[in-house]
Chain A
Amino acid sequence: MTTVNSYAGTYELDFERPLLQLERQIAEFESQASLSRPDLADEVRKLRQNHDKMLKKIYAKLGPWDTVKVARHPGRPQAIDHIRAVIKDFTELHGDRHFGDDPAIITGLGRVGSHKCMLIAHHKGKDTKERIACHFGCAHPEGYRKALLRMRLAEKFALPVVTLVDTPGAYPGIGAEERGQAQAIALNLREMSRLRVPIVSAIIGEGGSGGALGIAVADRIGMMQYAWYSVISPEGCAAILWKSGDAAEKAAESLKLTAADNLQLGTIDEVIEEPVGGAHRDPAIATQNLEKWLTNALRDLKRFKIDNLIAKRFERLRHIGEVAPH
């Protein structure tokens, strides 16, 4: 059963507005019920049932633009939350041994279930200060180089690589360009395609363009139900093709960026289910589903000889795209 999360009411998704009234009422009745009006408990239970029904209904027909909003909900569990919740003895490894330590990409050792792994994840930041330091999850070239350094380390010590993707895109800045943003991403794509350990990627929130792909070339790619993944953000696409940021909703529809769309396009393998009403309503369940998917994928990939795995990885990359004649 879904619980009313503390975020409801403090952060309002416009399409959830019908729920707000109910949530406030539940909160009010609950506080009274626990004090002096035990007779209200029944009422609360009914309201909750109504609430859950309505929530289910709203999320059953969630549009692409609404999905983007859920993916960006500030209460949505980030990679670091998932890591803290389920990754045993996570040991962060900092820096790219070259320029600096980009906080927008976290790398480190840790166990996913029983599998010792190298973890690589985008980090958006948990509070304002951190968000600014992380550029809201937009990595610099040193972030991608740090990721590659750790992947090579993983390769040397035969550790599978797990990446958690959550970025609006790679950072578009002067320093980022001058330090070779494009080259850093390009190199990751090439090297990940032939890395001699299994790679598992999960798109857990935003999968923005090359910035996402730069750590998302993998043997198994999962995508959380309300994440988005595409070649450009809806706003960016709207600005270029509609010449107006206001058309983001239309762009989101055209881009086919939801998990279901990506599954159909073949750009991901599986959709990782989220609790009703999105991961932010029940982060524990979301993390649990993610962990289950990751451990299954890792167990599965273990069966393959590494040469076969790389051959399969290449075949998948090679055959994506739609051309005529086929």
Chain B
Amino acid sequence: MTELPGRSWQDLADAAGKRSEVPEGLWMRCPECEAMVYRKTVEQNLHVCPECDYHHRIGADERTRQLCDTGSFEPMWEDLRPTDPLGFVDLHAYKNRLATEQAKTGHADALVCGTGFIKGRRVVLACMDNRFMMGSMGSVVGEKITRSIEKAIETDLPLIIVSCSGGARMQEGALSLAQMSKTAAALARLDAAGGLFISVLTDPTTGGVTASFAMLGDFIVAEPRALIGFAGPRVIANTVRQELPRGFQRSEHLLQKGFIDRVVHRKDLRSEIGRFIDYAGK
């Protein structure tokens, strides 16, 4: 198992950029082990590097395809769109950013959710999409997570949320912050109803998403070597003015510190989720 030093946000953004530029070629270079690998092989291997087991980031569509029994996923609330409640403008206007991201991903916002079957077990599944504004949580993501939780309560189905996010979305200000308490409150109701919530953390899960629903699973599993934390590594490094320990904020580190139940390889996610449901689902 390779241990990585904490990466900065810029590295993450750069790496994401590099990755999205590659897809045309037949061959690709693994950002982790730098081996040249045949793209098809990586794709057939669930987007995991056959050489070093590096888990490439995948979008929500690929995720639902991987997790659900073939053709069983039925998306819900796809019509929910973000508005621009603050009229937020930084170097770009939020409105324009949204339009660009929507065109790029074909989704209205950074979360795809619905119902499907995992190894024959019916579930409510919500997957964050890192390609859409770093998977950040604004009103739409918060609303869809909450509706997914409510759907799980109404139908007695297990709830699976696959997180992958830079945190709360700055462009919606305090409204994004409020999505943290909104989703957490909805989970209190699911908990009271005896519902099962399996939280799957993938690279990266940080900020307001980690500090709300993602860390509230009955079971919390993470893909190998995913960055998981509250503050970003660069912010921490700037605050404490020292080098971060090797492997800091990685799945294996969190496992060792006692904050996640298991590190699960992508190829085993379906079966592990299935097992949790067998033991704890209604």
Contacts and interface: CB of A to CB of B under 8 A. Distances in A.
Contacts of B138: 321
Interface in A166-202: 170-174, 176-183, 185-187, 189-194
A231 B208 contact: yes
Contacts of A255: 86, 88, 170, 173-174
Given A173-B236, A174-B245, A180-B259, A237 B188 contact: no
A209 B236 CA distance: 16
Interface string A258-299: 000110010100000000000000000000000000000000
Interface in B67-86: 79-83, 85-86
A187 B216 contact: yes
B178 A189 contact: no
A273 B33 CA distance: 59
Contact of A177 (B90, B242, B249): B249
A323 B174 contact: no
Contacts of A148: none
B179 interface: yes
Contact of B175 (A174, A247, A322): A322
Contact of A267 (B177, B184, B230, B257): B177
Nearest to A236: B235
Q: Interface on chain B toward A: helix, strand, loop, or mixed SS?
A: helix
Contacts of B168: 209-210, 231-232
Contacts of B180: 186, 189, 210, 213
A213 B210 contact: no
A223 B248 CA distance: 37
A316 to B, nearest CB: 9
Interface string B192-219: 1000000000000001101111111000
B90 A190 contact: no
A207 to B, nearest CB: 8
Interface stretch (B124-132, B139-147, B151-159): B139-147
Interface in A239-260: 240-243, 247, 250-251, 254-257
B240 interface: yes
A325 B79 contact: yes
Q: Interface on chain A toward B: helix, strand, loop, or mixed SS?
A: helix
A210 B211 contact: yes
Contact of A189 (B90, B184, B236): B184
Interface residues of B, number: 66
Contacts of A180: 215, 257-259
A131 to B, nearest CB: 15
Contacts of B135: none
B173 A231 contact: yes
A189 B86 contact: no
B206 to A, nearest CB: 8
A267 B178 contact: yes
B189 interface: yes
Q: Which of B174, B186, B192, B229 has the most CB of A within 10 A?
A: B174
Contacts of A60: none
A274 to B, nearest CB: 20
A318 interface: yes
A83 to B, nearest CB: 25
Interface in B210-250: 210-216, 229-232, 235-236, 239-240, 242, 244-245, 248-249
Nearest to B212: A186
Q: Which of B9, B139, B230 has the most CB of A within 10 A?
A: B230
Contacts of A183: 210-211, 215, 259
Going nearest first, the 8 A-B pairs with the smallest beta carbon separation are: A172-B231, A321-B139, A193-B185, A189-B184, A182-B210, A241-B90, A182-B230, A322-B85
Interface of B: 9, 79-83, 85-86, 88-91, 138-140, 142-143, 146, 168-170, 172-182, 184-189, 191-192, 207-208, 210-216, 229-232, 235-236, 239-240, 242, 244-245, 248-249, 253, 257-259
Given A186-B180, A186-B216, A231-B177, 17 more contacts: A172-B239, A173-B236, A176-B230, A185-B211, A187-B215, A189-B184, A210-B211, A229-B174, A231-B176, A237-B90, A254-B90, A256-B174, A261-B174, A318-B182, A322-B82, A323-B143, A324-B82
